[in-house]
Amino acid sequence: MENFWLKKGLKMAALVALYIVFFGTFVMALWNWLMPELFNLPMISFSQALGLFVLGRILTGGFKIMGMSTESKEHWEQKKHMYEKWQGMTPDERERWRDEWREKCRSRRPIGFHKKDNDTPQKPDMI
């Protein structure tokens, strides 16, 4: 069993190293190809390219952990919590909850969008 986890850990470390080398080289090559010529900026080293890559990832949504971003994990945890809460509700409580949320969401509909009493969508009114 220990051998399995050791192999799995080494494989993961190798993949992470390849990821770092590939994207660091990609950013460095792209920068050194475009930026000096277009904007008269200096060429960068591999470590500077890695820094730019990490900065870009942070500014555009962060890093994913095990294929799932932290926002996505929170979303699924909230969804799971709501599912468990829903399972514990009686049919009357569920209907009351639906009515409450229908009322809350009514004010958020686009202007000119109306629903009939049976909740079937209609086309928006023409202005």
Identify the band that residue 124 occupies on the pLDDT scale cut at 50, 70 and 90: low
- If asked whether residues 57 and 87 sit together in one domain, one would say no
Identify the band that residue 82 occupies on the pLDDT scale cut at 50, 70 and 90: confident
% of the chain beyond a pLDDT of 70? 75
Average of per-residue pLDDT across 60-66 = 67
In this predicted structure, what is the pLDDT of residue 43? 96
Identify the band that residue 34 occupies on the pLDDT scale cut at 50, 70 and 90: very high
In this predicted structure, what is the pLDDT of residue 69? 59
- If asked whether residues 56 and 79 sit together in one domain, one would say no
For residue 19, CA distances in Å to 33, 53, 64 come to: 21, 11, 13
- If asked whether residues 54 and 84 sit together in one domain, one would say no
Judged by average pLDDT, the poorest of 2-6, 57-61, 74-78, 114-118 is 114-118
In this predicted structure, what is the pLDDT of residue 28? 96
Q: Which domain holds residue 85?
A: 75-106
- If asked whether residues 39 and 90 sit together in one domain, one would say no
Specify if 127 maps to a domain: no
- If asked whether residues 6 and 56 sit together in one domain, one would say yes
* Cα 50 from Cα 56, distance rounded (Å): 10
Give the count of domains, the chain.
Answer: 2
